[in-house]
Structure 1
Amino acid sequence: MKIKVCGLTKINQIEELISFKIDFLGFIFYEKSPRFVLNHLTYNEIKSLDSHSKVGVFVNEKIEKIIEISETADLNFIQLHGDENENFIVELRQKLNPKTGIIKVIRIGNQFSEVKNQLEKISNLKSEISYLLFDTDSKVFGGTGKSFDWQILNKIEIPKPYFLSGGISLENIENLKNLNQKPFALDINSKFEIEPGNKNLEKIKDFKNSIKNEFIKI
């Protein structure tokens, strides 16, 4: 089970995460986020990182801007965390570098019918999307530190490998055993921070080791 650390802003922390082989590095290109990466790093700094798993997170951004940032920062994946519809995803896929993957986020709140409806719409886009990502619904688009009811995932057919996000911590990872279809990766953020964008690296290391042990048990 792979790990994605999202909301990265500090170059020394990113280099450490690379050194102990964190699988995906998440950079938020949403200006309203307290973890907006361009307040801390330049495009060239992101581009120069020795990683082939750089994920750019976008919220209701224009396609042309996504492509421009993706090419300038040499991103490997685009994560769509807003209300992007099927037509948007199809057009993005056509214009984006074929080697750059797309991760589509489905935000889960209290309405199961809404989740099912979103999945039905996306089911026709299997060739355009590399992965899904399930996160807790929120007006601030992620980083809430709150989990949704993971049992919802056992009630739906998930057409793609998926990232699990939203309040994941050392305390709740044992609940992964209750999921019928296990996540491809776990996406961690606010539960592993000292403050927004400043990661607790020791806690992340402990989490990585715990995931390895927990996965063996599962």
Structure 2
Amino acid sequence: MPLKRVVIPVLLLAAPVPALAGPWLRAEDRTFLSTSIEIDAEGGLSDGGGFYGSIYAEHGLTDRLTLGLDAGGHEDDMSKAIAFLRWPVGATDRPLRLAAEFGLGMARETFALRPGLSLGRGVALGDTPGWISVDSRAVIIDSFDGVLETDITFGLSPGPDAKVILQLQTGIPTDSAPYAKLAPSYVHRIAPGYHAEIGVVAGVAEADDFKLKIGFWHQF
């Protein structure tokens, strides 16, 4: 077994996927760390099936500026590693929030730029609080080759220790057909500052894979 097939998953699981990006910034000196792994539901790791692992981190430099890292890869390589800054656009005390971000790093083993915009607001379903957000990013590599990604997230907090999340993940690559995936998950607090996530990722357009997702969040 290649060394990278062992080292990469260990690193991904040892680090404590977003407490969800969106336009909400981290408070000053507050940090969020997240790791997730998506395992091929048909093959699994023991049968030689593939996986995708990710590390996501945010740190509040100030109340109006968040520093972040978004990295991920398959079993044999890291497919992206983007450092970014996010800041609010307009007032932060209104129900509808807007934030901009700019990132740079590597994607497909090539230098990449990643500007983005996030829009979101708190909502309620009956007495259950929640939120909805739209995150769009343009990953620009090789003279405007790349992909336009948009994630639409709807979440509810039915209890103080639980979150139910439904996310639609879409992309428009410059060199292939647009794709879409559905990613429902359940998040539960397992200790102060720690959450566990379990869900699935299912292709619905130009993506027919079905993966089990396991993640861990840490906020401090």
| TM-score between the two structures when normalised by the length of structure 2 | 0.31
Larger radius of gyration: 2
Richer in strand (by share): 2
Name the structure, 1 or 2, with higher relative contact order (CA <8 Å, separation 6+): 1
